[in-house]
Amino acid sequence: MLQLKIVSPEKVEYDGVVESVLVPGTMGQFEILNDHAPIISTLQKGVVEYVNQEGKNSLNILGGFVEVQKNVVSLCVEIG
């Protein structure tokens, strides 16, 4: 399982455990699963999708950054 935290300038949009995260990277969309290699990447306008116990969730973003390290996924995004 992954610990996901999505933060925008206004508030913490999500903070919890997820199975996977799909993000719109500037070089293309990519999925983050358990034990993903450490990475820092910029994000472009698109949809962030994540799967938790309630099911599939999505969030429209205008851009931002993602960092993955030791099954912790941190997104700093602008909501659009």
Question: pLDDT at residue 80 above 90?
Answer: no
CB 47 within 8 A of CB 62: no
Give pLDDT tens digits for 11-64: 999 999 999 999 999 999 999 999 999 999 999 999 999 999 999 999 999 999
CB 79 within 8 A of CB 13: yes
pTM beyond 0.75: the answer is yes
Question: pLDDT at residue 76 above 90?
Answer: yes
What pLDDT, on a 0 to 100 scale, did the predictor assign at position 35? 96
Q: In the structure encoding, which two tokens stand for residue 39, read together?
A: 């990475």
What pLDDT, on a 0 to 100 scale, did the predictor assign at position 79? 95
